[in-house]
Amino acid sequence: MGPLYDAVGIGMRAYSRSAFRVRYVGPKSFRLRPGTLIAVTHRKETDVPVVAPELYFRASLWKHRGEGMHFAARDDMFLRGFFAGFPPELSPRARRLLFPVSVGRFLPRVAVHPISSASTARLFEVLDGSRDRPAAEVVPERLLAPLRARGLAGSARAEDALRGEYADLLWEPVSRGEGPDRFWSARATRATADFRELVGLMRAGKSLLVFPEGRPSPDGEIGPLRRGLDALVRRGKPERILPVTLAYDPLVRGRTEVVLVFADTMPPPHEGLENAVLERLKKTTALTAGQFVAHELSEGREPHPAAFAAELESSRALGRPVDPRLADPPARAAKLAEARSVAGEKPEEIPFLAKEYETARSSARS
């Protein structure tokens, strides 16, 4: 850990505070004790710059160098063209400009470690591993047609498709069985090596941050967890698990709000680990005004202040965290009115928030 690590922590704090209104629930300061597995809910692609600086500053990692956290990150972040292929809203011109950019060589210097899957990859990786072969022999038919519609020649080789104008298609997932067997054999070897590296970090007493869901929730549900967390804990033998949750609330005026919760650490369960971690993540996801309004509207009801107050008290009684702004009755009434007003302007946000509310609430009441 060094100056670059510090610069990233400070830069992430600047970004998260400018992009969101972050409210934190947890200890004001703490020591990130060696051997901590940090398990974080994965809500949006912006989770890392929201969570990481809170860990960096509240655990004073610039002072306690030996307690710095490591990150398990999606392996396609290490590929050239990630910033062109991954974001769905980029223009074709922006994709072409960003395609040559690569940060992969810098990521290990800030303690970021790739984690890959033996059964899925990006089309970019399949093509890059078979550059001299005809593209038609490498690309699945479902993706070959849109590539050709954008101008890829019928006689093109795989390397000819590695261009910025195709970047969004290059980041489409490809499953085992689509593409050359040789690629998937090498992929399985790499996935095993990535996993062993994470196990080695844990056994060496390092702290590791993981997103056990594997990807941001597509519909608001908390979970399911991907396979592998249990194996990582059994082989890496962390001393404790720190559950961390995020609840974004876009039903506001101005910047989206996010409630970030650092829950109490838990010892790794001897049995049913993945279910126990998932239940803890659900139960420690904070209640927000946006969740409540979305749930009520999805049920065909108008959000009522009395019902909101009752839900707030019920959550507290069950040990579920709530947005700190909801503690004050006048502020709570204003938040509810604001969320109800904005809901009419952002109907696309309602299903996600309602699903988040339902999955967290079902655990809290169990």
Given phi > 0 = left and psi -120 to 50 = alpha, else beta, which region is 316? alpha
Q: Residue 347 falls within a domain, yes or no?
A: yes
**49 within domain boundaries:** no
Q: How many structural domains does the chain have?
A: 1
The Cβ of residue 335 has, within 10 Å, a number of other Cβ atoms equal to 24
Give a yes or no: residue 151 inside a domain. Answer: no
Angle at 149 between CA 146 and CA 150, to 5 degrees: 95
Model pLDDT, residue 89: 78
Q: What is the pLDDT of residue 1?
A: 62
CA atoms within 13 A on the CB side of 323: 25
Q: Answer whether residue 336 is part of any domain.
A: yes
DSSP assigned state of 267: P
Question: Looking at residue 218, what is its pLDDT?
Answer: 93
Question: Is 256 inside a domain boundary?
Answer: no
Evaluate whether residue 301 is within a structural domain.
yes
Q: Give pLDDT < 50 ranges for the chain.
A: 364-366
pLDDT for 363: 62
Who contacts 364 (Cβ-Cβ below 8 Å, separation ≥6)? Answer: 282, 283, 315, 318, 319, 320
Indicate the Cα dihedral angle 250, 251, 253, 255, nearest 10°: -10
Distance separating alpha carbons of residues 267 and 240, to the nearest angstrom: 5
Asked whether residue 144 is assigned to any structural domain, the reply reads no
Q: How far is C-alpha 37 from the chain's CA centre?
A: 16
For residue 337, give its domain range.
Answer: 283-364
Q: Residue-wise over 184-216: b if at least 16 C-beta within 10 A, else e?
A: beebeebbeebbeebbebbeeebbbbbbbbbee
DSSP assignment of 24-48: EES-SS----TTEEEEE---STTHH
* Domain assignment present for 253: no
Task: Tell me how crowded residue 348 is: count the other CB atoms within 10 A of its CB.
Answer: 7
Query: For 116-142, what is each residue's pLDDT tens digit?
Result: 999 999 999 999 999 999 999 999 999
Answer for the pair 40, 245: CB distance below 8 angstroms, yes or no.
yes
